[in-house]
A and B are shown apart, each in its own frame.
Chain A
Amino acid sequence: MSRGSSNPTNPDELKLLPDALHATAGLPAAPSSAALTSSLPASPQITATTPPARQLVDRPQEELEIIAEDLGLKPRLYKTRQQLISAIHARRQLIAGMNREAMVDVLRWANRPPPPGASKETLAHEIVSLRTMRFEGLTQRGLVVLAALRGLEVKGDEPIPLLVRRLKRQESFFSKINRKRRTLLGAVVSNFIGPAAASPSRPGAPSDATAEGRSLSIKHEIEEAGLFGGLAGRIKKSADGYVNQKLDEIEARIDRKLDEIDRRLAEWRDKEIANRILILKITLWASVIVGLFSLVYSYIQIHFPR
Chain B
Amino acid sequence: MPRIDFFDFFRYALGTVVTIYATIVTLQSVWGWYVWLAGSDKYISLVRRYVVVHGLRLRIRAFWGDVLICILLTITFFILWHAHHLIYDLGNSLADLKTVRNTHEPRLIQSNQSR
Query: Does A281 lie within 8 Å of B66, measured CB to CB?
Result: yes
Query: Does A266 lie within 8 Å of B76, measured CB to CB?
Result: no
What total of chain A residues lie within 8 Å of the partner, measured CB to CB?
24
Nearest residue (CB) in B for A291 is B80
Contact of B63 among A274, A291, A298 (CB under 8 A): A274
Query: Does A292 lie within 8 Å of B80, measured CB to CB?
Result: yes
Interface status of B62 (Cβ within 8 A of chain A): yes
- Find chain A residues with CB under 8 A from B91 CB: 298, 301-302
Query: Does A298 lie within 8 Å of B11, measured CB to CB?
Result: no
In the complex the two chains form, what is the Cα distance from A70 to B54 in whole Å? 54
Interface status of B90 (Cβ within 8 A of chain A): yes
- Find chain A residues with CB under 8 A from B24 CB: none
Interface status of B67 (Cβ within 8 A of chain A): yes
In the complex the two chains form, what is the Cα distance from A265 to B23 in whole Å? 28
Determine how close the nearest CB of chain B comes to the CB of A240; give it in whole angstroms.
33
- Find chain A residues with CB under 8 A from B83 CB: 295
Interface status of B70 (Cβ within 8 A of chain A): yes
Contact of B81 among A277, A291, A298 (CB under 8 A): A291
What total of chain B residues lie within 8 Å of the partner, measured CB to CB?
27
- Find chain B residues with CB under 8 A from A302 CB: 87, 90-91, 94
Query: Does B54 lie within 8 Å of A265, measured CB to CB?
Result: yes
Interface of B is mostly: helix
Nearest residue (CB) in B for A278 is B66
Interface status of A78 (Cβ within 8 A of chain B): no
Q: Which of A250-306 contact B (CB under 8 A)?
A: 265-266, 269-270, 273-274, 277-278, 280-281, 284-285, 287-288, 290-292, 294-295, 297-299, 301-302
- Find chain A residues with CB under 8 A from B5 CB: 301
Interface status of B58 (Cβ within 8 A of chain A): yes
- Find chain B residues with CB under 8 A from A285 CB: 73
Interface status of B77 (Cβ within 8 A of chain A): yes
Query: Does A277 lie within 8 Å of B80, measured CB to CB?
Result: no
- Find chain A residues with CB under 8 A from B57 CB: 266
In the complex the two chains form, what is the Cα distance from A285 to B80 in whole Å? 12
Contact of A280 among B62, B70, B88, B90 (CB under 8 A): B70
B residues apposed to A, CB below 8 Å? 5, 7-8, 11, 54, 57-59, 62-63, 66-67, 69-70, 73-74, 76-77, 80-81, 83-84, 87-88, 90-91, 94
A residues apposed to B, CB below 8 Å? 265-266, 269-270, 273-274, 277-278, 280-281, 284-285, 287-288, 290-292, 294-295, 297-299, 301-302
A-B contact pairs, 30 of them (CB 8 A): A265-B54, A266-B54, A270-B58, A270-B59, A270-B62, A273-B58, A274-B62, A274-B63, A277-B63, A277-B66, A281-B73, A284-B70, A284-B74, A284-B77, A285-B73, A287-B73, A288-B73, A288-B76, A288-B77, A288-B80, A291-B80, A294-B84, A297-B7, A298-B88, A298-B91, A299-B87, A301-B5, A302-B87, A302-B91, A302-B94
